[in-house]
Amino acid sequence: MTGSATELFGIKVPIVLGPFGGVSSVELAAAVSNAGGLGSYGLYGYTAERIRETAAQLRAVTDEPFNLNLWWPTGDEVEPHDIDWAEATARVAPFYAEAGLDLPPRPERFLPSFSEQLEAVIAARPAVASFVFGVPDADAIAALHDAGTRVVGTATNVAEARALAAGGVDAIIASGMEAAGHRVTFIGEAEDSLVGTFALVPQVVDAVDVPVLAAGGVADRRGVAAARALGASGVVVGTAFLATAESAAPPSHRAAIRQVAQSGTRLTRAMSGRLARGIENDAMRELEAAGYARFPAQNMLTGGFRAAAARRNDASRLSLWAGQAAPLAVGATAAEVFDELAAGLTP
């Protein structure tokens, strides 16, 4: 490994906020950046205009470095014409009826243009741009570097880490199976890349010559110290921050994280069509029984009733993303979580 996360990103403390697709918060990202770490904001599904607005909002509340995150297209995303729309909507019809919503018509597309998203991130010139689900191509990395932006990739296995390093990224997040949300595998099947963080990190450190950040299972000073002992240059923390007051997660989602010891977390494809870790609830069980469409069709179809559930603060119909260390997520504010994590950096 060469260099360090703090030098690379221009931050004081090697603690990175995990980017949340759909529930990222300007307030939370700024709180982590202003504390000396690297605040992150997930841009899944954002239009170019919304990306520009988000970057401006972040700059209005912090002068410190921050990270913008995009999902690199894998090529296996389905298009609207690939889906039997009648069958797919029939599976979610009970959820829409319960929420008093009409079933959505077949859209022209599920997601904004990725090239437009990428152009907006390059123009925003964040200190860091991170990617999941693939290796950014040479042109993208060159354009980001020209904009003064560091590029970070995410690996769930050693083969992915090697591919990212060969592709020219500046740092790699080693994401263990404990992590919340989507398994971001792009070489092999996600179900076959379920290596635990503290087995994955030293293997990735040994395989690449760029700084490695540990993600998954880190929620307090003990996880930070362990990650550092295994060679990680820093940590990426999601669930512990997702449960704080600054989070954009609905109160019922934050409460579910606090109570996760009662139910645990598990992996499912039912909520989005891709494998992801969350807290089991009624929606997960019912959709698994009914069947589900491929990504991103399923994510769009569940999005309608999930948004309604968020407004009702109904945890039974949300995607309750959370990692295996959720029972350790006890900090009420971003500052409390950050201070606890930072304590793991001192001998």
**pLDDT tens string 236-263:** 999 999 999 999 999 999 999 999 876 7
Segment 89-109 shows an average pLDDT of 97
pLDDT of residue 76: 93
User: How many other C-beta atoms lie within 10 A of the C-beta of residue 135?
Assistant: 21
Q: How far is it, in rounded angstroms, from Cα 318 to Cα 301?
A: 13
pLDDT digits (tens, 9 = 90+) for 28-62: 999 999 999 999 999 999 999 999 999 999 999 99
CA–CA separation, 339 vs 331, rounded Å?
9
CATH class of 5-345: alpha beta
Mean pLDDT for the stretch of residues 203-217? 98
* pLDDT at residue 2 is higher than 60: no
Residue 174's SS3 state is strand
**Rounded average pLDDT over 205-217:** 98
Alpha-carbon gap, residue 125 to 58, rounded angstroms: 12
- Rounded Cα distance between 203 and 193, Å, is 13
For the chain, domain boundaries: 5-345
Give the pLDDT confidence score for residue 234 in this predicted structure: 98
**For residue 1, pLDDT beyond 80:** no
| Count of other CB atoms within 10 angstroms of residue 13 | 17
Amino acid at 189: E
Nearest C-alpha neighbor of 238 from the set 120, 134, 154: 154
Confidence of residue 94 (pLDDT cuts 50, 70, 90): very high
Judge contact between 179 and 156, C-beta under 8 A.
no
Averaged pLDDT score across all residues of the chain? 97
- Per-residue pLDDT, averaged over 68-89, amounts to 97
- Residue 25 reports pLDDT greater than 90: yes
Under a CB-based contact definition with an 8 Å cutoff, are residues 156 and 173 in contact? no
The model carries a pTM of 0.96
Task: Find the DSSP H helices in the chain.
Answer: 5-9, 26-34, 48-61, 85-99, 114-124, 138-146, 158-167, 197-207, 221-229, 239-242, 251-258, 282-290, 297-312, 334-342
